Amino acid sequence: MITGKVAELLESTQYLQEVEVKGWVRSFRSNRFIALNDGSTINNMQCVVDYEQLSENTLKRITVGAAIKITGTLVESQGSGQKVEVQANAVEILGDADPEEVKYTILSPKRHSLEKLREQAHLRVRTNTFGAVMRLRSKLAFAIHSYFQQNNFHYVNTPIITGSDAEGAGEMFKVTSFDLDNIPRKEDGSIDYKEDFFGKETNLTVSGQLEGETYALGLGQIYTFGPTFRAENSNTSRHLAEFWMVEPEMAFCDLAGNMDIAEDFIKYVLKYVLDNCKDDLAFLEERQANEDKAKPEAERSAMSLTDKLKFVVENNFKRVSYTEAIDILKSSKPNKKKKFSYIIEEWGADLQSEHERYLVEKHFKCPVILFDYPANIKAFYMRLNEDGKTVRAMDILFPGIGEIVGGSQREERLDVLKQKMQALDIDEKELWWYLDTRKFGTCVHSGFGLGFERLVQFATGMGNIRDVIPYPRTPLNAEF
């Protein structure tokens, strides 16, 4: 008897062997064909049952969504589409799914909108789309660890609860141990954090970078891969309040080295899914092609999903300084009626997503690494250039996604870092431990942060970031 996952059995050539498969019924046709899915692959195992052999009770309980066990013989499939099928000898119902209730859920076999699927996030993983997306997400996570482990990076777990705001953007969720019925207050009514269990204000981390830097300055090359939180009230298809970030940090590495590693890393993980997720990618590619058909010509994807991934893997990213990018934007001829209507007037302005999209999708038509941004639109820790007004920052922009990576060479000079913090009103006492790294054996070092969900979006072609994480946390959605 072979007991195996459908993914393995579909590849098997051990015909006429006895097999046992367990999974959920996707469809049941003519009282004869059960399509069984066990999550191991997008493909169902077709099981052929002889309904005359089954009791009436069993037969009526083979319904869409039910969990069942089938034992039978693995045979070469007569139909097209798959090599093998199971000639069932016995069907055991493991968990019923009442059709009267199923019909009100997204398990009912018809097309449901992605919005509808989001309302039943606990069941959507049983659909083909979410099965494919979540398997791909898992493979990408594995590829991320593989890349860094193969290249001598150490995996570091940075704190989730922290006292510092790494990005200085003030987009933090507070953490407190207060008794909510009895919050200690100062005379002016504000919360008295001194009374808190931690004795200070704490928040959920927005980035593990600062702690990561301290570890890079000891372990040489590290990476983090964990949840990060941003209390930004943005309802866009690219933002979550809780998202996963990959943050490598390298000692003795400058901005050019940082860009090289980021590009090499992204190419590796995308190549990994091209090589290892063929069935899921084929499904997602067809899905995107179908979606495209419903769109006006101008909004359709220029390339198929796999061609898009191959293009990124095989071509160099274009490296452009912020100043060059501004010149390009200034001399562009935006179509006021269409997307790219906002022209940059001044050097020093932050780029809006429409500018980023113009550069990537219209001008260069490939991934772009923008570097050397104006100091005053970037975080305090970035290395100041000799011109005194730009910093060694880099953002990687992807077609259809926008910013997928943000990183920089770090300011390693204690005096310059202190001046920067002073100018931004960042309390040195809060970051004494961070400043210590610049006192004791400071060195040139760099790192970046990659938004994992944005990477999954790119690799799956999913338009909305809420559809690439099991339980999206957004301002209007934290029910599950």
Contact residues for ligand 4AD (CB under 6 A)?
A: 166-167, 207, 209, 230, 232, 239-240, 243, 245, 247, 403-408, 447-449, 451, 453-454
Residue 94 or 169: the one with the smaller Cβ distance to ligand 4AD is 169
Instruction: Select the binding partner of residue 451 from Mg ion, ligand 4AD, none (C-beta < 5 to 8 A, by kind).
Output: ligand 4AD
Residue 61 or 420: the one with the smaller Cβ distance to ligand 4AD is 420
Stretch that binds Mg ion, among 198-206, 207-215, 370-378, 402-410 (CB under 5 A): 402-410
Handedness of CA 170, 176, 181, 184 (dihedral sign): negative
Q: Does 472 bind Mg ion (CB under 5 A)?
A: no
Cα-Cα-Cα-Cα dihedral of 136, 359, 241, 142, to 10°? 20
Instruction: Select the binding partner of residue 4 from Mg ion, ligand 4AD, none (C-beta < 5 to 8 A, by kind).
Output: none
Structure tokens at 263: 């590009």
Residue 215 or 448: the one with the smaller Cβ distance to Mg ion is 448
Residue 212 or 406: the one with the smaller Cβ distance to Mg ion is 406
Count, residues near Mg ion per rule CB under 5 A: 1
Shortest gap between Cβ of 86 and Mg ion (angstroms)?
51
Shortest gap between Cβ of 284 and Mg ion (angstroms)?
27
Which residue shows structure tokens 């060694």? 392
Q: What H or E segment, with its residue span, contains residue 25?
A: strand 18-29
220: left (phi over 0), alpha (psi -120 to 50) or beta: left
Shortest gap between Cβ of 465 and ligand 4AD (angstroms)?
6
What is the separation of C-alpha 326 from the centre of its chain, rounded to a whole number of angstroms?
29
Q: Does 461 bind Mg ion (CB under 5 A)?
A: no
Residue 131 or 402: the one with the smaller Cβ distance to Mg ion is 402
Q: Does 406 bind Mg ion (CB under 5 A)?
A: yes
Task: Report the residue number whose CB is nearest to Mg ion.
Answer: 406
For residue 267, the one-letter residue type is K
Instruction: Select the binding partner of residue 230 from ligand 4AD, Mg ion, none (C-beta < 5 to 8 A, by kind).
Output: ligand 4AD
Shortest gap between Cβ of 172 and ligand 4AD (angstroms)?
12
Say how many CA atoms lie within 13 Å of 220 toward its Cβ: 5
Shortest gap between Cβ of 351 and ligand 4AD (angstroms)?
12
Shortest gap between Cβ of 478 and Mg ion (angstroms)?
24
Burial grade of 115 (CB within 10 A; 0-12, 13-18, 19 or more): exposed
Identify the three-state secondary structure at position 264: helix
Shortest gap between Cβ of 411 and ligand 4AD (angstroms)?
13
Residue 166 or 305: the one with the smaller Cβ distance to ligand 4AD is 166
Are 15 and 4 in contact by the 8 Å Cβ rule? The answer is no
Shortest gap between Cβ of 169 and ligand 4AD (angstroms)?
8
Query: H helices within 379-439, ranges in order?
Result: 414-423, 432-439
Identify the three-state secondary structure at position 269: helix
For residue 23, the one-letter residue type is G
Structure tokens at 225: 């891969």
Are 307 and 336 in contact by the 8 Å Cβ rule? The answer is no
Give the C-alpha separation, 137 to 469, whole Å. Answer: 8
Instruction: Select the binding partner of residue 266 from ligand 4AD, Mg ion, none (C-beta < 5 to 8 A, by kind).
Output: none
Which residue shows structure tokens 């049941």? 28
Shortest gap between Cβ of 448 and ligand 4AD (angstroms)?
5
Stretch that binds Mg ion, among 11-19, 207-215, 405-413, 415-423 (CB under 5 A): 405-413
Instruction: Select the binding partner of residue 23 from ligand 4AD, Mg ion, none (C-beta < 5 to 8 A, by kind).
Output: none
For the chain, what is the radius of gyration of the CA atoms? Answer: 27
Instruction: Select the binding partner of residue 240 from ligand 4AD, Mg ion, none (C-beta < 5 to 8 A, by kind).
Output: ligand 4AD
Identify the three-state secondary structure at position 61: helix
Residue 85 or 213: the one with the smaller Cβ distance to ligand 4AD is 213
Angle at which helix 255-276 crosses helix 452-460, to 10 degrees, equals: 40
Give the C-alpha separation, 14 to 35, whole Å. Answer: 20
Residue 236 or 341: the one with the smaller Cβ distance to ligand 4AD is 236
Shortest gap between Cβ of 403 and Mg ion (angstroms)?
6
